[in-house]
């Protein structure tokens, strides 16, 4: 049986791990390579690195970090943040990333998803969706959740799958940083309408929240950051609890 994946997310800013509460307030949570190694040894199923301040001149730093991580860990990892072209993707895959996550670029230039899938295969294409509920409707947001779009979340997710995305990383902006649990109905609605895996993100605060998102939330994987970085939940205990 395929196991449900537990994915610690490392938000990277200037080469350090940070975690924003509602994507605004940032706290230092340590050295990314050390954290990656620790999570890998503890039995994390996968890792995600998001460079939240990626700009053109920072890409080299990110590629270097990717190489350091790839040398140290024995589990797969995804890299995202400010990726806008096939060239960016190529550089990060060559540096040792297994999958590439794109977010704003997918909204601005949806054909990039088709091109990535064609060039590197769907398995390395993770499309992140930041979504916020306004008057009962789920809208896609970009730029770390700051900009709203005219895209509705479910139809956008379906379009991404059609274009060749291999996985959807779904972050509920309303839940992110609250530790009140994942957005279960949102996640289930998206997951049930897609034939590709959905990674739920935003709101993890307890072990029960993970159980919920894998059962009623129908998620294929669950991502969290600060609860792991600040050792509120240990990965070995969480995996034992879920098994």
Q: CB 127: neighbour CB atoms within 10 A?
A: 30
Minimal distance, residue 70 CB to other proteins, in Å: 5
Residue 45 Cβ vs other proteins, minimum distance, rounded to whole Å = 6
Report the residue number, 11 or 46, with the smaller CB distance to other proteins.
46
DSSP string, 123-184: GGEEEEEEEEEETTEEEEEETTTTEEEEEEHHHHHHHHHHHT-SEEEEEETTTTTT-S---H
d(CA 86, CA 77): 18
Q: Select which of 88, 98, 130, 220 is catalytic.
A: 130
* Residue 67 φ then ψ, to 5°: -60, -45
What residue ranges bind other proteins (CB under 8 A)? Answer: 1-5, 40, 45-46, 67, 70-71, 74-76, 93-96, 98-99, 118, 120-124, 166-167, 194-197, 220-221
Catalytic annotation present for 130: yes
Question: Judging by beta carbons within 10 Å of its beta carbon (0-12, 13-18, 19+), is residue 197 exposed, middle or buried?
Answer: middle
- CB nearer other proteins, residue 77 or residue 156: 77
98 is catalytic: no
Measured from the CB atom, the residue of 27 and 118 that comes closer to other proteins is: 118
Q: How far is the CB of 103 from other proteins (least distance, A)?
A: 19
Residues taking part in catalysis: 11, 130
């Amino acid at each position: 049986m395929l196991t449900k994946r537990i994915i610690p997310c490392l938000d990277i800013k200037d080469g350090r791990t940070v975690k924003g509460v509602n994507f605004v307030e940032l706290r230092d949570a340590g050295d990314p390579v050390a954290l990656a190694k620790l999570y890998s040894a503890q039995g994390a199923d996968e890792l995600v690195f998001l460079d939240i301040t990626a700009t053109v001149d920072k890409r080299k730093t990110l590629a270097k970090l990717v190489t350091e991580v790839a040398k140290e860990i024995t589990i797969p990892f995804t890299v995202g943040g400010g990726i806008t072209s096939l060239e960016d993707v190529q550089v990060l895959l060559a540096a040792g990333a297994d999958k590439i996550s794109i977010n704003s670029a997918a909204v601005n230039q949806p054909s990039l998803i088709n091109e990535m899938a064609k060039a590197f295969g769907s398995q390395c294409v993770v499309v992140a969706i930041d979504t916020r509920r306004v008057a009962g409707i789920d809208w896609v947001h970009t730029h770390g959740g700051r900009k709203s779009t005219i895209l509705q979340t479910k139809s956008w997710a379906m379009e991404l799958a059609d274009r060749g995305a291999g996985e959807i990383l779904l972050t509920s902006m309303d839940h992110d940083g609250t530790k009140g649990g994942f957005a279960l109905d949102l996640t289930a609605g998206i997951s049930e309408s897609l034939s590709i895996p959905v990674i739920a993100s935003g709101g993890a605060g307890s072990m029960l929240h993970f159980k919920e998102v894998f059962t009623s939330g129908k998620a294929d994987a669950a991502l969290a950051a600060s609860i792991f970085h600040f050792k509120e939940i240990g990965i070995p205990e969480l995996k034992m609890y879920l098994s």
